[in-house]
Each structure stands twice: as C-alpha cells, then as structure tokens.
Structure 1
C-alpha cells in the first residue's frame, strides 16, 4: 500500500481519534452508577451550607452519605438568593476542604526560634490555643476605667467576623466574644 502525505495525515488523525475516544468510558460507568446510588435519599442526607472561600456567601447543598458520614457531593443551592445555584470554580471544588487525601491531617508546631516542625496531637493544640488566649486576655483585661466604674474590657484582643457565616453563627460568635470582654468587634462585610 502506497500512501501520500495527505492520506497519511488522514489515517493518523483517524487512528488518534479512535484511540482517544475508545477509552473514555472505561471504568467510569461503575463509579458514576455507584455515586448516583449513594446520592439517593435512602442512602444520603442533604444539608444547606455557605461557601467559605470569599465574602459573597454563596449557598451550598452538601450531600452526606449516611453509611460513611462523609460528604460525597457539593453543589450550588438553587434556592439561595445570592448565587441561585451557580458556583465559581473555588465553590464548586469546596468538597476538597474536607474530602482530600492530600490534606495534612496532623498538627505541626514550630517552637519559637526553632527551624524544626514537630507533630503534635489535636488535644495539645487546643490546650495551647486556650492557654495563649487566656494569657492574652489576662494581660490586657481592664476591670475598671479611670472613673472607677466596672467595665470588664479585654483591650488586647480583636475579632473579625466572616461574611461566609450565617446569622446564627455570627450571633454565637458575637456572644462568645462579648463574654470574653472583647470590645473591638468588626465584620468583614463592613470593611
């Protein structure tokens, strides 16, 4: 068989397309069927949430498997007034914040003036954060003002709320901060 240049290009293109499109469905069918079956109401639960990436506050619908108690799908909430079901690229990939095998699941701590990181337990980290927060509060706490009036203010800590929080979360965070005596409260939506 004798091929000229034009026939060779045609034959090569047809072969490349055939090889490329032949393997597209391989292995995907079983995964897709399994995922669809997991998303049925008998096997999963849908919960509304808010995207945590920026201050827009787009609504999400998170589908959680009832067997594994893990998120299996995240999509835009069509009933949400801000995004009406659409999501940006970051919001669409927000499932990776919880379901990502590459995410570091351990706490790393670097002591002051040290160049080495140490793995620490979550309990150790929580206790350290609580200890340092109390130390900052005690250091900057003002019980009485110049006139002798009781004010109970924490002047050394400030709080910046997130616009990605819903009203209930903002209320709980505000109450927690006020209980510590924090007076410098601000919100991302006002900045």
Structure 2
C-alpha cells in the first residue's frame, strides 16, 4: 500500500499525536488512570528520610539518605538508598561518582565508627569512648601549648604563636561552623591550620 503524505499533512499528524500524548500525560485519558491504579508501591515509601552533607570533599553537597528502620523507635536503621538533595543550594540534586556511591561507604565493613587508640609500644588499636578520646586530646594540647607557646619574638614584639601543633578541619561543613572553627584555632595561637579540601 502506497501512502503519500505531504509535509503539511505530516506536521498535522505529528501535532495531533503530541497533543494526544500531552493530554494523556496530564491525566485526561482513561487508559492513563487504569495504568496508574496498578502501579506497585514505591521502594522508598516505608523509609525514613534524612538530609545530610556528603563527607567526601569541600563542596559539601546535600544528600538525602533513605533508611529502613527508625532509630528514634529503637530500631536498627539500614541505609538502602542515597540521592542528591534537589533543594540544596550547592549541588541542586546532583552528585559526583563518589557521592553517588555513598551507600557503599556507609556500609563498608572497614569503616571506622568509634575512636581508636594505639598505646605506645602496642601493635594494635583499642576502642575507647568519645569522652576518653576528647579528654586525652585536650590534655595533650594543653601540655604542648604550655610548653611551646611563643608570646613574644626575639625583638620583644607580641606574636602569640603556637607552632608545635597543627589543626586539620573538616571541609564538609557549613560556613558558620568553618568560621567558628577558624576563630577557635586562631584564638589558641595555632599557626598550622588547613582544611581537608580534596576537590
């Protein structure tokens, strides 16, 4: 069968097809309603949604973590899906390959979840509490600052420097937290200060 179709006729048929498809997509079709009635429930319907910041680099992209099980109810939560936060001003829902693979990072068996300390002369790390770790860090910092703080240089000019301790800050944070961290570090006199920017 030979069908001859002019350019004008082709545009009319194409336009009618686009109009019919658009109306169907907007819910004006009985067939569309019948299909929607048989859609299976979404896999994320019974999950807990938590917004967070990607921990990988200094861009600080927003992520949404979906977990089965509610920690607030005493249940063990398991992350089953990670996606970019479309409402976050930094990434607008996009994620790099590392951020997209965040679920594997969270569930890795080698992921460090608690403070660990290797005693002098020991060949293994031992788990300690956060209170023990922070108390030890504070004590060692105070001892080092008391012993090595430089109030004045050789010319007698006040410099207030502490050069024997450095500080590495987390870059996946808010501007306000970064500002407060910088102020605390400089108030202590620490000269060696950097962020873990790995972009």
TM-score (norm. length: structure 2): 0.58
* 1:50 and 2:47 aligned: no
**CA displacement at 1:62 relative to structure 2:** 4.4
Alignment check: 8 A CA contact 1:50 1:166 kept: no
**Residues 40-119 of structure 1 aligned to structure 2 (within 5 Å):** 46-47=50-51, 49-62=52-65, 67-69=70-72, 74-95=82-103, 103=111, 105-119=113-127
Equivalent position SS for 2:94: coil
Structure 1 runs of 4+ aligned residues shifted over 6 Å read 99-102
What does residue 38 of structure 1 align with? 47
Q: Does the 8 A contact of 2:165 with 2:190 survive in 1?
A: yes
Residue 153 (str. 1) matches residue 156 (str. 2): no
Query: Does the 8 Å contact 1:62/1:71 carry over to 2?
Result: no
Residue ranges of structure 2 left out of the alignment (5+ in a row) = 1-39
> Quick check: 2:145–2:162 contact (8 Å CA) kept in 1?
yes
Superposition deviation, residue 109 in structure 1: 2.5
CA distance in 2, matches of 1:133, 1:52: 26
- Aligned-partner Cα distance in 2 for 1:107–1:141: 28
- Where do 5+ consecutive residues of structure 1 fail to align? 1-28
Count residues in correspondence: 155
CA distance in 1, matches of 2:89, 2:95: 13
1:131 Cα shift?
1.5
Contact 1:71 1:95 in 2 (8 A): no
Deviation at 1:78, TM superposition (A): 1.8
TM-score, length-normalised on structure 1? 0.60
